[in-house]
Chains A and B, each alone.
Chain A
Amino acid sequence: EAQVTQNPRYLITVTGKKLTVTCSQNMNHEYMSWYRQDPGLGLRQIYYSMNVEVTDKGDVPEGYKVSRKEKRNFPLILESPSPNQTSLYFCASSSTGTSGRQVGEQYFGPGTRLTVT
């Protein structure tokens, strides 16, 4: 089954304790992206990756890191989490077509609810 998986689904942590949220897709997609979703603000893009070893900032990258060492995985790293990073996080992936530049339909994972106290 084609899917995007995220782990963990729920996480409660304390300020400053490094954490990683994993994301994996089995569709051989080139494009992957991380979003956070907060009430009243909709989805905001954190980072995205066009392919292996190619990453770029979205609208809200501060406090986050990503890496894309393999095509299927795109982990989100919070080196020193703070309470304002409490949010619902979604990973998504998409193919980029034959041109390698056309990002189409994004497939979203089930979400990771993070609480930082």
Chain B
Amino acid sequence: GENVGLHLPTLSVQEGDNSIINCAYSNSASDYFIWYKQESGKGPQFIIDIRSNMDKRQGQRVTVLLNKTVKHLSLQIAATQPGDSAVYFCAESAHSGTYKYIFGTGTRLKVLA
């Protein structure tokens, strides 16, 4: 959305460097986590997910790390490109009976040329 990034923390990264975006989640019962990317004026787009029985999952240029002990999730983007500039959200869900999703407030990633 156009104005949703006004109050967000911003991570500025040089093109070609690796980016690490962090997220603290709230519910120790959450067992499914997703990272979304939202470009200006568009809806969120799925990047990668991970279930609580894993602590790492890799995709194309992205890796998600899950630390259940401290309720922390991170998204690593390798060789950051200008097209990676967007707002990134983590989301958590507990599938044991409910299908509610709780989203983080987001981090804006700015890729510097």
| Interface set of A (CB-CB < 8 Å, partner B) | 4, 31, 33, 35, 37-45, 48, 50, 56, 58-59, 88, 90, 92, 101-111, 113
Tier of interface size on chain B = 20 to 34
Interface of B is mostly: loop
Bound form: Cα–Cα A56–B98 in Å: 9
Query: Contact: B44 with A108, CB < 8 Å?
Result: yes
Known: A108-B43, A108-B44. A59 touches B100 (CB 8 A): yes
Q: A42-B104, A88-B4, A104-B49 are in contact. List 15 more A-B contacts (CB 8 A).
A: A39-B6, A39-B7, A42-B103, A44-B103, A45-B101, A59-B100, A88-B1, A90-B43, A102-B95, A103-B93, A105-B46, A107-B46, A108-B43, A108-B44, A113-B1
Interface of A is mostly: strand
